[in-house]
Structure 1
Amino acid sequence: MLDKILYNTVLCQTFSPCGKYLIAGNIYGQIAVFDLGRILDPVVELLTADYNKPKHIHTFQSEKQICSLASTDKFLIVGSVNEITGWDWKSVVSSKLSKPAWSIKISSKCQIDQTDVNSLWLSEDEEKLYAGCGDNNLYVYNLEDGRLVSTYDGHEDFIHSVHGKNGQLVTAGEDGMVLLWDQRTSKYHNKLEPYKNDKLNRSDVGKWVGSACLGDDWIVCGGGPRLALYHLRSLDAVTVFDLNDHGIHVTFFHDDCIFAAGAAKFLYQLNYSGEVKVELPVSATTVYSAVLRTVPNKVLSIAGSSPEMDLCTTFNYRDQVLHFR
């Protein structure tokens, strides 16, 4: 158990729908439930030494790594290996986890034994669940009945991330491709290959793209190639970010700012022209997950290859360190 504590890696995080709990999943098939109310607004007289540790840690019977998490009003959605499960929130935040409310088995067309569910994204109406998987496919499920609606087949290697906005969908993969999809036809209509751009290529890091995210008029993506901002209509690389990283795994937009992290000492906050606004120190050697919420509290949580997770309420510095142990 000591080795597990020392070498814990947190792959994913999400918030409860009420915003009172932070959920994190690790490589050992565990989810940690952090009580943000107790952490962010503690009662000093009742404060104990373990206030920044999980309220509960639930270990799944399979002990397969927790690859991705998502949240609806009713369920915590867990992407693992060969399976996606939905858990009632009352059960998640209680001391003992009951059986899942529902389960979806990944029926891969590829002849592989282990299909990791690397990324989950929910449609804005929470009716469809998009799962980017290790068999190179993006699966779309109807959450009402668990039915497989469609399969997006276009990547040549496993998918790292999936994200949608304003009816558009983007995926990024180990094959070095960023694909833009038409949700009506399940076909991609545009493709980016950042590693083929001399300004972005870093052959020593690889061609893989760890994360791609959509803004209103932009795509930001990075991985082995340098982090870059593309205009959505022209697909031109408008800004190339000069960061001291060895691979990007996290990207997202917030308040006219780009957040990015990966194999680096910092989570970076950047403006669209390439200026680094904030270098926020992180505990993890490599960041695999960063989640942000503004209500009921403004909070950013950063996690990766460490049992320590960084909690920030101003986004300019690290307020607290949480311990997944």
Structure 2
Amino acid sequence: MLSESMRRKLFYNTVMSQCFSSDGSCLVAGSLYGYVAVFEISKILRPLRTEYESRRPSYHIEAHPDSHVDSMVSTENFLVTGSIGEICGWDWKSVTSSKAEKTKASWTIKIPSENDSYDGAVVFSLAYCSANNLLYAGCNDSKIYVFSLEDGKLVTTLEGHTRFIHGLSLLDSGTQLASCSEDGTVRLWDLRKKENTNVLTPNLVDNIHRSRLGEWIGAVDFTEDWLLCGGGPKLSLWHMRTMQPATVFDLPDEGIYVAKIYEERIIAAGLASHVYNLTYQGEMLSSIPTSSDTTYTVVYQETPQRLFSIGGASNFLDICTNCNYRELSVQFAP
């Protein structure tokens, strides 16, 4: 159970990361204060019995005490969380059961320290490739660390960015990775050759550049045909073949932290009080109001229950069962 002081603190919470359990039955969210909340989806979608009832997590895990849960991904067997200087794996069978609040990490990977730093680098972004069981960690020391989850060992380090890395995106094939950084660039990596193949600098394009917001890129996603990115520069969609911008989106945002390509549509959010659902050509399909004025994380799944979850600078997560409207909100902490 959470202490009263932690309950008060989490009332002013920020949700930094989210994912779904491997079987799709639970939504998991990580907070600024190091806690993980586990929501059973079947329970949060039930109608409330009284007007005074609220939708809350089934369990809380103190995953990273005195730190924060900056990133997370799901593997078949583990919830994987990234924080300051470490990555931890939590067995899904324990995390989604009555044992959750007493569970301990099944394994921990320490991030190499730079300049003898005691804490190690902060893991801002994680990407997992099931084809080869490799985990990619984008950190604030400008490096991408590649770990084997067979034994937890460092396989290689991808270097090229000069400032901290905000986001990673991985093709399903596991052959290409995209990364975006505070340095204003998006880099594409050939993972077979372990080398950087392309560098985009959106800030250098006149109709994408926003001088008052800076050059940083806060989010990236890509397919074999398209690349989507945004941050200080406007959200923009690029042709992978030509590496030229196809669409520049005109949104009422003050910076982009979420950029996702979903079912031939674009999902975008950031320093704004809405999540935007757009066509590739820039037509607004829907604008979903959020519980906070900044969104840091949006996750979605199709099965076994179609669900979108939106988290940010709030104690609430906004839940949608389609891209058109907010259906309900759940509390991270009571």
Which TM bucket (shorter chain)?
over 0.9
Question: Which letter maps to 1:101?
Answer: S
Question: Which letter maps to 1:286?
Answer: T
Q: Which residue of 1 aligns with 2:24?
A: 19
Q: Which residue of 2 aligns with 1:66?
A: 69
Which of residues 5, 8, 12 in structure 1 aligns to 2:13?
Answer: 8
Over 3 Å counting, the alpha-carbon distance change for 1:20 and 1:243 in structure 2 is same
The answer on whether the counterparts of 1:110 and 1:135 sit within 8 Å (CA) in structure 2 is no
Task: Give the TM-score normalised by structure 2.
Answer: 0.93
2:102 is paired with a residue whose SS is coil
Which of residues 233, 242, 245 in structure 1 aligns to 2:253?
Answer: 245
Over 3 Å counting, the alpha-carbon distance change for 1:124 and 1:61 in structure 2 is closer
The answer on whether the counterparts of 2:203 and 2:233 sit within 8 Å (CA) in structure 1 is yes
Tell me the number of residue pairs that the alignment of Structure 1 and Structure 2 aligns. 323
Indicate yes or no: 2:220 matched with 1:217.
no
Q: Which residue of 2 aligns with 1:104?
A: 109
Over 3 Å counting, the alpha-carbon distance change for 1:104 and 1:114 in structure 2 is closer
CA distance in 2, matches of 1:3, 1:189: 48
The answer on whether the counterparts of 1:75 and 1:87 sit within 8 Å (CA) in structure 2 is yes
In the TM superposition, 1:1-325 aligns within 5 A as 1=5, 3-41=8-46, 50=53, 52-60=55-63, 62-95=65-98, 96-112=101-117, 113-125=119-131, 127-165=133-171, 166=173, 167-325=175-333
Task: Give the TM-score normalised by structure 1.
Answer: 0.95
Structure 2: gaps (5+ residues): none
Over 3 Å counting, the alpha-carbon distance change for 1:110 and 1:192 in structure 2 is farther
The CA RMSD over aligned residues, in Å, is: 1.7
Pairwise CA distance, 1:186 = 2.1
The answer on whether the counterparts of 1:108 and 1:135 sit within 8 Å (CA) in structure 2 is no
1:38 is paired with a residue whose SS is helix
Over 3 Å counting, the alpha-carbon distance change for 1:280 and 1:126 in structure 2 is farther
1:226 is paired with a residue whose SS is coil
The answer on whether the counterparts of 2:33 and 2:65 sit within 8 Å (CA) in structure 1 is no
Pairwise CA distance, 1:110 = 4.7
2:104 is paired with a residue whose SS is coil
What does the per-residue CA deviation read over 1:71-98, in whole Å, with 9 as the maximum and x for residues that have no partner? 1111110101100010111221234332
1:195 is paired with a residue whose SS is helix
Pairwise CA distance, 1:6 = 3.4
Further displaced range: 235-244 or 101-110: 101-110
Pairwise CA distance, 1:187 = 1.7
CA distance in 2, matches of 1:211, 1:318: 23
Pairwise CA distance, 1:3 = 5.0
Question: Which letter maps to 2:161?
Answer: H
Question: Which letter maps to 1:99?
Answer: K
CA distance in 2, matches of 1:48, 1:29: 31
Over 3 Å counting, the alpha-carbon distance change for 1:61 and 1:111 in structure 2 is closer
The answer on whether the counterparts of 2:113 and 2:120 sit within 8 Å (CA) in structure 1 is no
2:309 is paired with a residue whose SS is strand
Over 3 Å counting, the alpha-carbon distance change for 1:51 and 1:6 in structure 2 is closer
CA distance in 2, matches of 1:130, 1:320: 33
CA distance in 2, matches of 1:37, 1:67: 26
The answer on whether the counterparts of 1:284 and 1:309 sit within 8 Å (CA) in structure 2 is no
Q: Percent identity?
A: 42
Pairwise CA distance, 1:122 = 0.6
Over 3 Å counting, the alpha-carbon distance change for 1:61 and 1:259 in structure 2 is closer
CA distance in 2, matches of 1:187, 1:168: 10
Pairwise CA distance, 1:114 = 4.5
Pairwise CA distance, 1:18 = 1.1
Over 3 Å counting, the alpha-carbon distance change for 1:3 and 1:196 in structure 2 is farther
2:213 is paired with a residue whose SS is coil
